Amino acid sequence: MENKRSVDRPTHASMRAHQRQFAWQILVPFLVMAGLIVAGAVLAVTGKTPGSRVLADVSVIWLLAPMLFFALAILVFVITIIYGMAKLLQLLPRYTGKAQGIFTRISTGTRQAANGAAKPIVWFRQAGAVIKSIFKLK
């Protein structure tokens, strides 16, 4: 078991250096850039700076462009699916009739085979019942 001190704080110098590097080389730049992006978005939307209306319009265009691209891709996908289904529905009646005929033949053959396999057993039981009834009467 590890003691509480080793779980809470790293004891090695390399781990402490890693945490410092993480804070200054990754976390701080990330937070600064996130703050700048949020501040720029707020300034562009609120219109507090000169020429901000143009910036707001440009920002809206940049925000809408990816969404319009993905919407166009989804629209093309849906149109392709609809076209494919229409073509498939034109072909299906011909082949589903053939498939239904094939499965009807398979079903009939299976039923005949099962009846043929059960016929001797049924015949022997009937014959046994007849023989028993003949000997019971006497």
**Domain range list for the chain:** 9-46, 63-138
Q: What percent of the chain has pLDDT over 70?
A: 86
Q: Each residue of 104-132: pLDDT tens digit?
A: 999 999 999 999 999 999 898 988 888 88
pTM: 0.39
Q: Each residue of 59-91: pLDDT tens digit?
A: 788 888 999 999 999 999 999 999 999 999 998
Write out the two tokens for 134. Answer: 């003949």
CA distances to 19, 68, 84, 86 from 79, in Å: 52, 16, 8, 11
Write out the two tokens for 84. Answer: 């494919």
Q: How confident is the model at residue 35, as a pLDDT?
A: 94
Q: How confident is the model at residue 42, as a pLDDT?
A: 79
d(CA 57, CA 45) in angstroms, rounded, equals 9
Q: Each residue of 18-53: pLDDT tens digit?
A: 778 888 888 889 999 999 988 887 776 776 666 667
